[in-house]
Amino acid sequence: MNIRYFEKDRIFKIDTDHVSYVMAVMDDQQFLEHVYFGRRLGDSDLRYLLRHQEPPFLASQNPGDRGKVLLVMQHELPGELTGDHREGAVTVRTQAGHTALQPYYVSHRIYRGKESLPGLPATFGSEEGTMSLEITLEDPVIHVRFLLTYSVFEDTDAVMRSMRIINDGGQPVRVEKALSLSTDMGCADGDQRPWRLLTLDGMWVRERHMNYREIGYGFQGVSSNRGETSHQEQPFLGLVSPSATQHAGEVYGFHLIYSGNFRGQVERDAYDALRVTLGINPDRFSFVLQPGESFQAPEGVMVYSREGLGGMTHTFHDLYRNHLIRGIWRDKKRPVLINNWEATYFDFDNEKLLAIAREAKECGIEMLVMDDGWFGKRDLDVSGLGDWVVNENKIRGGLKKLVDEVNALGLKFGIWFEPEMISPDSDLYRAHPDWAIRVPDREPCQMRNQYVLDLSRKEVRDTVYDMVAAVLRSANIEYLKWDMNRTLTDFGSAALGAENQDELCHRYCLGLYEMQDRLTRDFPHILFENCSGGGARFDPGMLYYSPQIWCSDDMDPVERLMIQEGTSLLYPLSTMGAHVCVVPNHVVGRVTSFATRANVALAGTFGYELDITKISEEERAAIPNQVALYHKYNDLIRRGDYYRIASYRENHLYDCYEVVSKDRTEALITYVQVLNVPDDRSRILRIPGLDPDREYAVTVEHTGFTAPEEDRTVTLPVGPRARMRGDALMYAGLPMPDFRGDFRSALIHLEEV
């Protein structure tokens, strides 16, 4: 880890253990140019890589054609309308209505540590293990400064970047675009490396599916204008070389630490060069800066891997585990919980909850979570949101009585909230109809029979927070699920003037962050899980406030294979909320074995979402063993390196992934056979990440029934407890079980002997 400025060559060089990021100041124009981002380089003058140094682009030899220079230059912060016709990263409109902008280098500083971003989540690190570079640029015509900050940590290859915009002029200006990341990827090798674009797309109950496409000329990318990162898109762009695999080849990953509207875009120009931009969506965004005021854009993450997708994944996982997730639960095993939602929906009372709790305790489950329906007038989803007061017709004797009874059984207690929402049929809405986001004189759009509260307003945040906090203080609550079940529409705030209405979405996001930051500071002992109708707000911004996020409302294990594959491409397994569901599954109606449901859920936080009083005796008898396996392997799953071995998304037959301990002494392989084909041969898979010189014991763990009959036992062709060398497992492979009976999946444990 090092950041240096070579004054003679006017080059900035940012180094991690395996990556270099290089910029230069153009001698005659003071432009800040992007030079290189990729595999670590030695210290040499890389100015020869700058395209404008070549005729006919040499500015000193052709001063009357500056546009050609700007057209091919690799800008570090591209402005707009001054000669570079590609997408700009920043737009500032003056009082006169002009948006032409050209930032010039002014100064820089290099320092130990990393400063926080006001009001925004961001990565953090110790002063001794972190270095930062702040570069000041300025447009001298409109008197606006831009502070670009780059940071690196000694234990990761990621490069972080953020931007702050400061109005130094005497008149207000309007920021209309502030993209956190902008990287020009120069062409090399003729075509020049025909990168594929990788995105994570989907919808409700089908989030974060991996999607590849060829990068054509012009614009392509992802975006959200829904007020949240959304079920449909993830604030991520990947550039994947044609030959890249899970374990080899070049991959770039760009990720935004933000939870609101975003846009990520790749532009391929006529020279086959690429410009990658990622930041707040300019659609429905502007921010007025009075003289002396500033705007802070979110932080972006840039990752380069020459070890394929897996290398990128390891960098993101380590970065988020060590430098984004906070609090006492970051490194702790989470309690195994059971949630009553799919067991009871709104139809529950004390006795139903206690009956679930009693059975759960007998099976080794550690926490009961009470979901939607405990507050206000809330027997269906048509009323009650905003009235965060316990409904004692349903929870008789009050919440403390119920929690005490659950605690007396030996279980912890958790609770569900949806603090951002308000029902038209609620006391809060009747008292404050103007607190809902809406456009005057228009009937606002309802979704799930609810509106969205205007969190840009302090009085709204304070009122709702006080109600939530009062409930949390009233009883021994040790887990909170924060949900958001609809998107934003009808963008209008009664508290903002006409010139500020386009600030609403960003101010809403800042208000959300303020509430969650306050919550985690006031209740640091509570395990906090974010959720948005499933996985609509599974983003790095939320990880700053909660160590786990509900992955999807679809808990069918086959659907989860693809959802969790895409999610785990960027996010540690410890962040993925995953439960064992009932069958037929409530979303897709599929019937899968109890063992497969558990095996897939063990890749996440692990819990149960079913009525444990109504499942079969056989399934109930299997739960203690599943819970025991969670406790046995969760440290490995939570802390280890994740490897993708095979993808059901690609082969349509089976799925396989692995977690390996950092010291390579232990590994856990999850194999799921989704579909059998006639006369299929035994499948042999190579197992990555091991030490080739060590010997490993190979054991199959049973997550199905406590005493399986002979024909239900999963066995390996190599024997019930084989010993194999690491090199044999890595290069020759491990035969997978034959799934001809009831079992369709297996956990295979490798341990050094």
**Residue 193, pLDDT score:** 62
Mean pLDDT, to the nearest integer, of 314-335?
Answer: 97
**Residue 99, pLDDT score:** 94
For residue range 538-559, what is the model confidence (pLDDT) as tens digits? Answer: 999 999 999 999 999 999 999 9
Lowest mean per-residue pLDDT among 192-196, 323-327, 416-420, 726-730: 192-196
For residue range 132-156, what is the model confidence (pLDDT) as tens digits? Answer: 999 999 999 999 999 999 999 999 9
pLDDT of 188 higher than 80: no
Mean pLDDT, to the nearest integer, of 428-453?
Answer: 97
For residue range 472-523, what is the model confidence (pLDDT) as tens digits? Answer: 999 999 999 999 999 999 999 999 999 999 999 999 999 999 999 999 999 9
Give the pLDDT band of residue 187 (cuts 50, 70, 90): low
DSSP code string of 611-669: -TTTS-HHHHHHHHHHHHHHHHHHHHHHHSEEEEEE-HHHHSSEEEEEEE-TTSSEEEE
Give the pLDDT band of residue 709 (cuts 50, 70, 90): very low
pLDDT of 223 higher than 50: yes
> Which amino acids are annotated catalytic?
483, 553
**Residue 576, pLDDT score:** 98
pLDDT of 56 higher than 60: no
**Residue 702, pLDDT score:** 76
**Residue 710, pLDDT score:** 39
Please give the residue that has the higher pLDDT: either 188 or 534.
Answer: 534
For residue range 635-664, what is the model confidence (pLDDT) as tens digits? Answer: 999 999 999 999 999 999 999 999 999 999
For residue range 13-44, what is the model confidence (pLDDT) as tens digits? Answer: 999 999 999 999 987 778 999 999 999 999 88
**What's the mean pLDDT when you consider all of the chain?**
93
Q: What are phi and psi of 407, to 5 degrees?
A: -60, -40
**Residue 45, pLDDT score:** 75
The secondary structure of 275-319, three-state, reads: EEEEEECCCCCCEEECCCCEEECCEEEEEEECEHHHHHHHHHHHH
* Distance (Å, whole) CA 627 – CA 614: 19
Domains and CATH numbers, the chain: 2-323 (2.70.98.60), 337-639 (3.20.20.70), 643-752 (2.60.40.1180)
Predicted structure pTM score: 0.96
pLDDT of 225 higher than 80: yes
Helix (H) or strand (E) holding 369: strand 367-370
Is residue 352 classed as helix, strand or coil in its secondary structure?
A: helix
